[in-house]
Amino acid sequence: MDLGIRNKKVIVTAASKGIGYATAKRFLEEGAHVLISSHDEQKLLDAYNKLKDIGDVYYLKADLRSIEEIKNLILKGNEILNGIDVFVYVAGSPKPGNLFELTDNDWEEGFKLLLMSAVVSIREVSKFMKNNGRIILSTSISIKQPLENLDLSNVIRLSLAGLIKSVSNQLAHKGILVNGVIPGWTLTERVDQLVKDRSRRENRSESDIINDIVKDVPLGRMALPEEVANVIIFLASELSTYITGALIPVDGGYIKATF
Ligand SMILES: NC(=O)c1ccc[n+]([C@@H]2O[C@H](COP(=O)([O-])OP(=O)(O)OC[C@H]3O[C@@H](n4cnc5c(N)ncnc54)[C@H](OP(=O)(O)O)[C@@H]3O)[C@@H](O)[C@H]2O)c1
């Protein structure tokens, strides 16, 4: 099926690993021109080397905590790709901890990583994006249901819901659709590491730890990063022309609330 993604010019942030990487790979498989970005140049280069045989891929380092680096990514990205049709925002993972453990500096860093990065990205990218452009933000189930020991995500990411709704209204007249996806537990390298660490600490098998996590997921398993990427692809595709300001869970039913 032609999704209308061939030759689209796409930027994906936090794309050296995990959800961002899987998303960039899916866009390449659909024939898009893709610029990947992350804050570790070596990991970014490793990702680029894995992707370059699939399609037309470029890379540019940008630390999402730096406003200047985000502006540079979008300015240069627009030059490299000769336009931007789709911007996929994925963030790095915030530091774990609760209110009583996190320092003032942790909150400031969390604010830069999880909120200012999205604000600046959307503002800058919308200067270049034209009619039928797509801005897609990957968030977290924490915006619907607080996660234990992840207060930075629970508190700061919640603002992305307001941002997506506000900006979708403001950009509608330009024909730009702005949406979010809400990934649930997704089996990325980071989660794999988390499972391994917990298995060592608690002296339990990895499958035991995974079972513990997925007991709250009605579908009974974690998502593959590609399953999150597929929903992002849908939102970027010509199958999705009348959805804006939406937040779509890809969580296997994890979120308990009706709305
Ligand atoms: N996996 C899950 O279960 C899950 C569920 C809900 C939400 N999420 C959220 O989804 C996002 C991606 O998660 P993931 O599991 O795919 O993580 P991951 O596999 O650890 O990948 C994280 C990506 O973020 C990049 N990154 C880290 N800090 C950055 C920074 N300051 N600036 C730019 N890029 C940065 C990393 O690249 P470099 O190290 O190369 O810079 C890497 O490409 C995170 O925000 C996470 O909290 C994950």
CA of 174 to the centre of ligand 1 (A): 30
Pocket perturbation via mutation, ligand 1, pick of 188, 232, 250 by most ligand atoms within 8 A of CB: 188
Interior angle at CA 142, CA 189 and CA 163, nearest 5: 110
DSSP-based three-state secondary structure for 184: coil
Note the pLDDT tens digit of each residue in 163-188. 999 999 999 999 999 999 999 999 99
Specify the pairing of strand 86-89 against strand 247-250: unpaired
pLDDT of residue 1: 86
Range 203-210 average pLDDT: 94
**Residue 198's pLDDT band (boundaries 50, 70, 90)?**
confident
**For residue 88, what are the CA distances in angstroms to 34, 53, 123, 136?**
10, 21, 14, 5
Note the pLDDT tens digit of each residue in 49-105. 999 999 999 999 999 999 999 999 999 999 999 999 999 999 999 999 999 999 999
* CA–CA dist 143, 109 (Å, integer): 18
Range 217-223 average pLDDT: 97
Using CA positions, which residue lies closest to atom 1 of ligand 1?
186
pLDDT of residue 221: 97
Burial of 9 (0-12, 13-18, 19+ CB in 10 A): buried
* CA–CA dist 1, 138 (Å, integer): 25
Residue that the structure tokens 């990063």 belong to: 225
Note the pLDDT tens digit of each residue in 122-151. 999 999 999 999 999 999 999 999 998 999
pLDDT of residue 132: 96
116 CB-side CA count, 13 A = 16
Tokens for 245, please give them. Answer: 């300001």
Residue 259 scores a pLDDT above 90? no
CA of 1 to the centre of ligand 1 (A): 30
Rounding to the nearest 10 degrees, give the CA dihedral for residues 246, 249, 250, 255. Answer: 180
pLDDT of residue 197: 87
Using CA positions, which residue lies closest to atom 2 of ligand 1?
186
Rounded mean pLDDT of the chain?
97
Tokens for 137, please give them. Answer: 């933000």
Contact 83, 134 (CB under 8 A): no
Report the share of the chain in percent with pLDDT over 70.
Answer: 100
